[in-house]
Amino acid sequence: MLRIDDDQMADLTRDHFFARVASFILDQSAHAGLRALASDSSRRRALWLAEWPWLAAESEQRAAMFMCFVLACAALGLDPQRGVALARSAPDPAFSIKTFLSERDLMRFSAFDTPELTRLGAD
């Protein structure tokens, strides 16, 4: 009988969530650099794992938004950790991230309001 311990289950759940967010990015963005990062599982995983300790405690929607932002920063050659620190300290992080992504034609401002994102937890 196959036994999965708590750490293995947490890793499986996290990796499944990472794959769903990558799929969301591919569905919502036409930006080649962002799409390339979302398609590269090892690069996106490395970028997202750096932020995972605090992202894991966030709602799926908020975590997904920050994860998109992390890849967007990397795709534009910006320091993702510095970008996240600035976004987290903003009075309204969600608005700041949506504005950042839309002003750079990475994603629509309303991308995070779509049913595709709210279905992230439905799989």
**∠ CA(34), CA(35), CA(40), 5° rounding?**
100
Res 123: pLDDT: 43
Res 122: pLDDT: 43
Residues in the chain, pLDDT under 50: 120-123
**Alpha carbons 54 and 10: distance in angstroms, whole number:** 15
Res 121: pLDDT: 47
Res 32: pLDDT: 97
Long-range pairs of 95-102 with CB within 8 A, sequence gap ≥ 24 = 97/65, 97/66, 97/68, 97/69, 98/65, 100/69, 100/72, 101/68, 101/69, 101/72
The tokens describing 81, both together, are: 């950790």
Res 4: pLDDT: 76
Res 116: pLDDT: 58
